[in-house]
Copies of this chain bind each other. A is one copy, B any other.
Amino acid sequence: MELKDLRKTSIWKMEKLELNFSVDCVLFTILEKKLKVLLNRPFPEMGHFLPGGFIMADEDSDAAAIRILYQRTGVNHIFLKQFRTFTDPDRFSYAELFQRLGMEQQIMDELPLLPERVISIGYFALVNAELIHPTGGEYQENTSWGDAEQLPQLSLDHASIIKQALDALRRELYFKPVLYNLLPEKFTMPELQTLYEIILGKSLDRGSFQRKMLRWDIYERLEERKTGVAHKRPFLYRFNREKYDRAQQQGIHFAM
């Protein structure tokens, strides 16, 4: 094969995959009162990975994130939000990966040209674990929820990607009402506060929290109170769907 023929095929791609553009998906949930993140373990000889993969030639990264999350974990219909792109020249090396996986030098020499740098575009979402069902996807990978505060051994720079996704999620929390899917239809302020505390990783002052929440004007206080609790029965609230949707669109603080 001569150089000029090669120029006509595209060696910037292999099997329609763009070998230097990947996406990584950070899917958070709350389980057993802890913040968890969905992990894959495609290679037993290496640590966990975020569900990730290469962008295809005809798709943008938003479409790639949805497809890859589904292929890797079986989880579908999730709105994933782009939060940051990871570009460190040393973050990923095909040669190093293949060596870690025990590939023989002779096979590596036969491989097509591979890029020296792979950048990864990070996406995150916060989901209700009861509504999604990770199956390991079509690759039948070992898929599990890891504890975001005490992560297991992770491959590549994926621990750092999770940390930055968590920063993005925490920031989103102050800006948009992202907890809708994690709450029952009717809920109490202490229940809402618990979710915030789990995600923020710290205790919040009860009075100050409630004042802030009510100032957002997206919750409706019902005439009912929670039953079956020992002491003072707290009021029940629900989202005002119209105001919630507007806040989702515009951000809470845009109502300046």
Residues of A within 8 A of B (CB): 1, 3, 6-7, 10-13, 18, 20-21, 55, 57-62, 82, 84-85, 87-89, 113, 115-117, 119, 121, 170-171, 174-175, 196, 200, 204, 208-209, 212, 251, 253-254, 256
Contact = CB atoms under 8 A, between A and B. Distances in A.
Given A55-B87, A61-B85, A196-B256, 9 more contacts: A1-B3, A12-B113, A12-B116, A20-B21, A57-B89, A57-B116, A171-B251, A174-B175, A208-B256
A117 B55 CA distance: 11
17 contacts: A7-B113, A12-B12, A12-B20, A12-B113, A12-B115, A20-B21, A57-B89, A58-B89, A59-B89, A61-B85, A61-B87, A85-B85, A87-B121, A171-B251, A175-B175, A175-B253, A204-B256
A121 to B, nearest CB: 5
Contact of A116 (B10, B89, B254): B10
Contacts of A59: 89
Contacts of A82: 84-85
A85 B121 CA distance: 8
Contacts of A7: 113
A251 B174 CA distance: 9
B18 A117 contact: yes
A3 B13 CA distance: 16
Contacts of A85: 61, 82, 85, 121
